[in-house]
Amino acid sequence: MSRACALLFVLSVGAVGAAVSARQVQWQWSESPSVRIGVRDKNDDLHGYEATFVVTSERTGKRWERKVKVEGDNFGYLHFPDDFAAFDWATHATRFRWTCEVGGRVVVRGRFALATTDELESEGRRAAPARRRGKDR
């Protein structure tokens, strides 16, 4: 009886696999670029602090700002664009600068790029060197 059940199982799995490959599968995908930025008082010298993160679009200068309270020597992390409610970021640019201020002083700065596959491929086509026409002599 168990051999018969095993044989039926193998045959049914093979039939399902054949049915799936016989029809054309249409795929959809989703991309959601994001970046995590953070800061840490490594030695806990401040015994906690409030950090102000500012992200700026390099192309347009549009700015997003968000504050986070950090305890002890933990990292204070934020995710761009989600934590900044920057739902319109893609209409402004793919390259950004960011700073983190503590006590009114910039303690760290950086840059990042966010792009979907289509945006990266389009950027690559624009940046490709122009081909020469005709013969070089």
Residue 8: inside a domain? no
Question: Is 85 among the domain residues?
Answer: yes
Q: Tell me: the pLDDT tens digits for 49-61?
A: 999 999 999 988 9
Structure tokens at 53: 């993160």
Residues of the chain with pLDDT under 70: 1-21, 90-93, 129-137
Q: Is residue 11 part of a domain?
A: no
Q: What is the pLDDT of residue 5?
A: 42
pLDDT in tens, 58-82: 988 999 999 999 999 999 999 999 9
Q: For residue 113, which of 99, 93, 128 has the smallest C-alpha distance?
A: 93
Domain membership flag for residue 22: no
Instruction: Give, in order, the Cα–Cα distances in Å from 121 to each of 17, 75, 115, 125, 128.
Output: 34, 34, 10, 6, 11
Q: How many CB atoms lie within 10 A of CB 33?
A: 17
Number of folded domains that form the chain: 1
Question: Which residue type, as a one-letter code, is found at position 105?
Answer: R
Classify residue 4: in a domain, yes or no: no
In a domain, 18, yes or no: no
Pair type for strands 95-102 and 49-57: antiparallel
Residue 1 in any domain: the answer is no
Q: Report CA-CA distances (Å) from 137 to 115, 130, 131, 133.
A: 41, 18, 15, 12
pTM equals 0.69
Contacts for 11-17: CB closer than 8 Å, 24+ residues apart: none
Show the domain range for 57: 35-127
Helix H or strand E segment including 39 = strand 35-40
Q: Compute the distance between CA of residue 61 and CA of residue 80 in angstroms, rounded to an integer.
A: 16
The reply to whether 16 falls in a domain is no
| CATH number of the domain encompassing residue 106 | 2.60.40
